[in-house]
Structure 1
């Protein structure tokens, strides 16, 4: 799966036709969705499916070890669906932002997203720390070029800030990986081996320092308060497709790293630091929601809700470190955290694509620049309303399944923190309902660029082109929201796959 985008990218290097570039990209992303469904088979039980382990650098204990389980298979599927949606969204016009003849620029755009899909899938299937780090780091470089090359506003500054923050964090994380690898009787970076042996058990300070190093790198990528400041400018200035991938996929590399590496490989230090994770999670929840409430730009508002939603994930994972809370509740918390990763990817990806439509039509995503749009933009209004309701956790949509599971699982372990985090749900509801009321209702007001008459023959001006969603945009956003609706109506499709792997993680933390 992770190699296919690279192969297609190499084949597209000499291509000079726009239709071939976009057609091949879309076909590849559709194939990846099919492969993700096939990869899902065999998961839902303890252990890894489709596992492959061969020596890579045996002298240093590094191997090519890949596989999927109940934690990674849903994220692999979500990643494939998001990239398919981004490819469909890009069919609406030349995503390079210039003329249709600028094939070189379009080719660069397509190749970057093919590379991003490759390394994103690689992160979620990697079962070796070095392999995980390579994919993790390359994703930072590729997203830097997406923001710097196709963004808007202060894109160069935002891209550099994103790169420096996340790259330095990844280097600190690498130190933690090295500490884990050399702690046992023999050097190894193999994740299942390290989980089985717990090499830093009883090491005290060494274990806590290793967890701090790993945690800092993952927290920056997540991002968690107070290392979240790179996120709003990166989202605001990135192109819509870049924002969707950054929020839906790249942020999950951080939270997935906590579940795959921090909890099972460092169980003792995680139990010792569980309260710190809970506190940072609650602060992220409340801070993200309150700051989002104050935003006037839709993209910045959605960016801060990502800090809020990822805070719930950290809260639930922190609660899993309180052994006295019982295995059932802690398993539910980890299951809910994984569902939240999938739900946030689908819903927030859709929200950023919707905000990108506004930027495309009117040159701005300022909330008050688009009022009363329910009449002239009915498809945009319906899809935005559905995405907003999913994000605030309305029953029947994926956000409710995730938040209900996380809060229910966290309550026995940290009741006060869970109640405080629940306040964030009310603030999130307020900010999305305010946006719905402002943008969909009231007097019609569209930016001049979206409501300007078109010159016709003989000096006669024709009516402006409808700013509403086009076919490709509707298909892309509808695909993501259909996934959220499916999870909300039939959550067992997801939870029955995740629960056995979540139980394994909880048992490893309890050692």
Structure 2
């Protein structure tokens, strides 16, 4: 019952909010109440290990099967708790132009419904359906509630690119799922994990793995299938950027683990050199783009490409440590990216843009809480020890240096060297942004061109510091970031047993 309610509460809230008149005043109570109740149910479901398994489409053998395990537990918690923060943040400020507040909040709740169903689904067809539920509400957030400082055509282009890329990836994923289900005779993900590729020829397993990995790589996204992400992040409102980075991207990496690694392991091992190389190129590509990017939201989007590259390297190692590293890095990136997008969104509301080439006031002087929070977020983004991102990146490179049997050691160790260079690039672009925001300096390309009048204008710019509910959301994210950085075992122990079982095909 608890798991059913976990999916039903945000779905009903989304339907009510989307159908509500624009002037209705109950949208605050409904959205906040539904998100808090969903969070409580999510915590209970993870603690109790709840599940539901009943026939759904009997003629096709598809079951209404949802369950939580160590692989999905942290993602469920991240989703339900983060949505509470997103709703609180949205209610504490102005609603982006483009529609009513109830529509905006309804889209957020519908994204939560689809994400939770994806992380909990234990049937491959059900997984695909849940995966697609988030497409329309996220398109709505980008298209209708996107940045009103840009032309309508720009919003339409970003939303359209998001839809076209993700539908292309979903089509490939569906083809891979249908091939897998038709040859194995079941769509039950637990049964497919137990089969562990048994009964499939090597060439067929590699082909299925290639199709699944390509389709899911669009959602992750991995280089060179990442080109939809920067524009989507730049145009999306704060809630859209946070959910896109912290939740939707995780659906792609989770799908690789649940569908490809569990069901066609030999195919993944055969393709692991390609997966690792693409991840390594993404690390360097994202880092170099961040070094020259002037738009702060696009910069964080490119940094996400780099962080997803580390997860790809970890998964390519094929080892238990690599899988643990990927799962940890997934959550770490969700926390850090959410913090940064919350902060950038708040600053963009005041500045009207996130252009780093425009001279700004020093946050350390005018808005110290903003400044300190940015320093924490950027320090985590560069993988500073003691913060949450360090463990995901360190364990990813450690796993790639000693990959599982059958994995090309030379290629994986080469990606470790590339990944280390990527860490240096991360330090460079994080310190560049910290200098601009914390110290109030112009970007290197334009700092020497700032006129005295421009400097006086920047110095007189008013910035209202973080406070109230929004500051509370930021503080919670910083606390979680530090806690998991100091005590990583709190997260690693959740997935340890189920990660080992998934790699061996012995379900618990």
Q: Is the 8 A contact 1:313 1:406 kept in 2?
A: yes
Q: Which has the higher contact order (CA 8 A, sep 6+)?
A: 1
Match of 1:378 in 2: 368
Q: Secondary structure at the match of 1:207?
A: helix
Which whole-Å CA distance do the structure 1 matches of 2:458 and 2:310 have between them? 43
Give structure 1 stretches of 5+ with no counterpart: 43-48, 99-103, 321-329, 454-462
**Root-mean-square deviation over aligned CA pairs:** 2.3
Deviations 1:230-252 (A, max 9, x none): 00001011111101100100001
Which whole-Å CA distance do the structure 2 matches of 1:155 and 1:478 have between them? 31
Q: Is the 8 A contact 1:52 1:67 kept in 2?
A: yes
Match of 1:134 in 2: 129
Q: What does 1:168-317 correspond to in 2, within 5 Å?
A: 168-184=168-184, 187-198=185-196, 201-317=199-315
Q: Secondary structure at the match of 1:53?
A: strand
Match of 1:50 in 2: 50
Which whole-Å CA distance do the structure 1 matches of 2:42 and 2:479 have between them? 17
Which whole-Å CA distance do the structure 2 matches of 1:405 and 1:34 have between them? 31
Q: Note the C-alpha offset of 1:39.
A: 2.2
Deviations 1:155-188 (A, max 9, x none): 111000010000111011101100011102xx32
Which whole-Å CA distance do the structure 2 matches of 1:37 and 1:497 have between them? 13
Deviations 1:271-312 (A, max 9, x none): 111111111111111111111111011101100000000011
From the superposition, tell whether residues 93 and 442 of structure 1 become closer, same or farther in structure 2 (CA, over 3 Å): closer
Which whole-Å CA distance do the structure 2 matches of 1:68 and 1:495 have between them? 16
Q: Does 1:108 align with 2:106?
A: no
Report how many residues are paired. 476
Q: TM-score, normalised by structure 2?
A: 0.89
Q: Secondary structure at the match of 1:2?
A: helix
Which whole-Å CA distance do the structure 2 matches of 1:396 and 1:306 have between them? 20
Q: Is the 8 A contact 2:142 2:240 kept in 1?
A: yes
Match of 2:63 in 1: 63
From the superposition, tell whether residues 452 and 312 of structure 1 become closer, same or farther in structure 2 (CA, over 3 Å): closer
Match of 2:84 in 1: 84
Q: Secondary structure at the match of 1:115?
A: helix
Task: Select 1:33's aligned residue among 27, 35, 39.
Answer: 39
Deviations 1:297-335 (A, max 9, x none): 110110000000001111000011xxxxxxxxx211111
Which whole-Å CA distance do the structure 2 matches of 1:180 and 1:62 have between them? 14
Q: Note the C-alpha offset of 1:389.
A: 0.9
Which whole-Å CA distance do the structure 1 matches of 2:144 and 2:104 have between them? 9
Match of 1:457 in 2: none
From the superposition, tell whether residues 176 and 255 of structure 1 become closer, same or farther in structure 2 (CA, over 3 Å): same
Task: Select 2:498's aligned residue among 494, 497, 501.
Answer: 501
Which whole-Å CA distance do the structure 2 matches of 1:486 and 1:39 have between them? 23
Q: Does 1:338 align with 2:333?
A: no
Q: What does 1:388-467 correspond to in 2, within 5 Å?
A: 388-413=378-403, 414-442=412-440, 466-467=463-464
Task: Select 2:144's aligned residue among 126, 149, 167.
Answer: 149
- Tell me which moved more, 481-490 or 65-74: 481-490
Q: Is the 8 A contact 2:321 2:399 kept in 1?
A: yes
Q: Note the C-alpha offset of 1:211.
A: 1.4
Q: Is the 8 A contact 1:85 1:479 kept in 2?
A: no
Which whole-Å CA distance do the structure 2 matches of 1:386 and 1:313 have between them? 22
Deviations 1:403-453 (A, max 9, x none): 1222222211232221221211110011011110111114699x99xx899
From the superposition, tell whether residues 441 and 261 of structure 1 become closer, same or farther in structure 2 (CA, over 3 Å): same
Q: Is the 8 A contact 1:396 1:488 kept in 2?
A: yes
From the superposition, tell whether residues 137 and 442 of structure 1 become closer, same or farther in structure 2 (CA, over 3 Å): closer
Q: Is the 8 A contact 1:207 1:269 kept in 2?
A: yes
Which whole-Å CA distance do the structure 1 matches of 2:162 and 2:435 have between them? 33
Q: Secondary structure at the match of 1:429?
A: helix
Which whole-Å CA distance do the structure 1 matches of 2:259 and 2:341 have between them? 29
Which whole-Å CA distance do the structure 2 matches of 1:112 and 1:301 have between them? 25
Which whole-Å CA distance do the structure 2 matches of 1:362 and 1:464 have between them? 9
Deviations 1:434-487 (A, max 9, x none): 110111114699x99xx899xxxxxxxxx9864222312212222222221221
From the superposition, tell whether residues 133 and 493 of structure 1 become closer, same or farther in structure 2 (CA, over 3 Å): same
Which whole-Å CA distance do the structure 2 matches of 1:443 and 1:488 have between them? 30
Which whole-Å CA distance do the structure 2 matches of 1:31 and 1:332 have between them? 35
